Amino acid sequence: MKIIARLFAAGLLALTISAAADARPFTARDMVTLDRLSDPRVSPDGKWVLYSRRVVDYDANKAKSELWAIDISGKTPAAPRRLDASDGGGVSSARWGADGHSIYFLSSRGGSMQVWRADIGAAGATQVTRLPFDVGAFKTSPDGKKLLVSLAVFPDCPTLQCTADRIAAKAGKKTTGVVHDRLFIRHWDEWADGTRNQLFVLTFDEKGISADNPVAIMHGFDGDAPSKPFGDESEFTFTADSEVVYFSARLAGKTESWSTNFDLYGAYADGSGNLLNLTEANPAWDAGAVFSPDGRSVAYRRMKRPGFEADRWQIVVRDLAAETDRELAPDWDRSADAIAWSPDGKTLYALAGDVGQTRIFAITVKTGKVTPVTGAGHVSGFDVGPKGIVYAQDTLAGPAQLYSIGFKPGSKPVKLTNANAERLADVEFGQYEQFSFPGWNGETVHGYLVKPVGFDPSKKYPVAFLIHGGPQGSFGNLFHYRWNAQTYAGAGYAVVMIDFHGSTGYGQAFTDAISQHWGDRPLEDLRKGWAYALDSYGFLDGGRACALGGSYGGFMVNWIAGNWKEPWKCLVNHDGIFDSRFMGYSTEELWFSEWENGGTPWTAGTTYTTFNPADHVGSWTVPMMVVHGGRDYRVPLEEGIATFTALQRRGVESKLLYFPEENHWVLKPQNSVQWHDEVLGWLDAHTKP
């Protein structure tokens, strides 16, 4: 049992301040108003990097994305600059055109979300599409002659006008009743309206403006491309010759809400022929097709087990001529979240969680040899250019910055941005370190300790014990914008976070261990992690500690309330499950609850009642704050209301913080600050004199 890494805030010099008298702690207001860098894209010639910079207007309680660029053609990167294309509205999904200087992006500046084009060397932007519906996602073809867009339409409609007429007819009705004949009546935070995300191909004319007669290449397909609610253009692509489109989709039917069988389909870009299911043999998830530079191979990601959304993402390379599949690096026990080819086609780069970090790995296509490219920290996105890789990386010590790194093994990263430097110039972050201990079954479990700001080793500090959601997730070395450890450190708390069994990045067996064991194995890890932390860090005040969690973490808080309440002065449950059995009937993505509990709620031998917080309410005595969003359809509002009802009826000190317009997350800037004010006030009331 030893501390395995000391990853202090000094690693990001521009964002690190010594504990000087004039330094101030990091706050929730700081967190929500930080500019957020993401989505780096390297130009085809390797001279420029495009990226998105999200900026917040706190008073208006909203945010927008701007388009920025960095010239990296010189010996040292130039200063980042905001492109004029950002004027007139938000910009998202900026992508390089095949010519190397045109930039295509989505913007709603014309009243609806359409594709626009700008030039890296010119001012202003030109509208490309004028479609009757918002463009959800897009991709340009390799030959620069076609544009692939996703539109929400009725899949049985032969024309866009048909969809428009149906929408208008519905709007003109005075009745409001809606009839459903299958599940997914609502998903994440929206109710179903009968439309599907469908793909259309447009052809550019001689002026570079897309034609007005899009070709429906998915007409009649009962499914979404990209998937809802978080799918993007990584789920569809052109083949190297621009003649065929590959996309990932699930055939809906009656089974959509309990199926994870996404397949890769092929469709001719001109709309001729029938759809071809390219992965029909695999009953689980297939996604993320990317073509090799020579067009001879396609790599994609697949899962093995139907119904399990947290299965390991394998990397498969298909030889298109031979029509054979080969799993790349089958012994690499990590799950690939994204993949991209090297320019020479000899290497695939993959993004994966790895022992509390999220790294880029280089995988040799011929041998399957795996080599880490990036070090400690959390890579949120990357792009491969002709000379190297550009990526966005954050840590527990600060928000994301952009870096570049060469292909040669041992290359050192070059920092490209220093965003938020001025607004964080007087901020002190809590120092942090990773530790490990023997958890359930004697297996190694990892965690993080974040020291309070202004740390004095002679003092004792109250503790915020954070429990991550998922449960297949991780509170690793990352700068979270909802559960940010530094907001607690800034408020004077030491923070302890345990990556219990079920967490990602520690091998698939470790992730699998939580399924049908929500209340025993992870609870044992949390108990042992807490004991280890108290024994190893003498400044933790075990008598002044509160446990907090969201989603699965909220379930665990409810479970702790009846099964491990002794250490805690207070609890905070955000969007957590109260009644596991009812959750199996009321949530939208049924595959999740059915896999995690071993079947449907009416099936014998499942764990809905084995680990059901509702059955332990008689033991609840610890004060609890309950937080829930009115548009949370993943863990419905009634779970939070039931938790609060049980607490109040038993006479346990409790509060309910309700956000009518928020979903499973609290996203609006001012709501986030209110969340932190209420939660930290609750902690203060129970842990500080």
* Residue 7 predicted with pLDDT over 80: no
- Cα–Cα distance measured from residue 182 to residue 153, given in angstroms and rounded to the nearest whole number: 18
664 is known as an active-site residue: yes
CB 67 within 8 A of CB 38: no
For 208-224, what is the mean pLDDT?
Answer: 88
**Catalytic choice (52, 551, 654, 672):** 551
Q: Which tens digit of pLDDT belongs to each residue from 262-278?
A: 999 999 999 998 999 99
How far from the centroid of its chain's Cα atoms is residue 297's Cα? 28
Q: What percent of the chain has pLDDT over 90?
A: 92
187 is known as an active-site residue: no
**Catalytic choice (187, 517, 574, 664):** 664
* Residue 213 predicted with pLDDT over 70: yes
**Catalytic choice (474, 593, 632, 654):** 632
- Cα–Cα distance measured from residue 256 to residue 155, given in angstroms and rounded to the nearest whole number: 16
Q: Which tens digit of pLDDT belongs to each residue from 225-236?
A: 999 999 999 999
- Cα–Cα distance measured from residue 467 to residue 530, given in angstroms and rounded to the nearest whole number: 12
* Residue 364 predicted with pLDDT over 80: yes
Helix (H) or strand (E) holding 51: strand 48-57
* Structure confidence at residue 21 as a pLDDT band (50, 70, 90): low
Q: Which tens digit of pLDDT belongs to each residue from 128-168?
A: 999 999 999 999 999 999 999 999 999 999 999 999 999 99
Query: Roughly how many angstroms between the first and final C-alpha of the chain, as a whole number?
Result: 34
For 246-253, what is the mean pLDDT?
Answer: 97
* Structure confidence at residue 1 as a pLDDT band (50, 70, 90): very low
Q: Which tens digit of pLDDT belongs to each residue from 559-578?
A: 999 999 999 999 999 999 99
| Average pLDDT over all residues of the chain | 95
The pair of structure tokens assigned to 355 is 């022992």
Q: Which tens digit of pLDDT belongs to each residue from 381-415?
A: 999 999 999 999 999 999 999 999 999 999 999 99
In angstroms, what is the C-alpha Rg of the chain? 25
List the one residue out of 583, 634, 600 whose CA is nearest residue 187. 634
Q: Which tens digit of pLDDT belongs to each residue from 123-136?
A: 889 999 999 999 99
* Residue 627 predicted with pLDDT over 50: yes
* Structure confidence at residue 86 as a pLDDT band (50, 70, 90): confident
pTM, full prediction: 0.94
pLDDT for 317: 98
pLDDT for 5: 41
242 is known as an active-site residue: no
* Residue 11 predicted with pLDDT over 60: no
DSSP 293-325: TTSSEEEEEE-SSTT-TTS--EEEEEETTTTEE
Q: How many residues does the chain have?
A: 689
* Structure confidence at residue 90 as a pLDDT band (50, 70, 90): confident
For 47-74, what is the mean pLDDT?
Answer: 96
For 529-542, what is the mean pLDDT?
Answer: 98
By CB atoms closer than 10 A (0-12, 13-18, 19+), residue 358 is buried
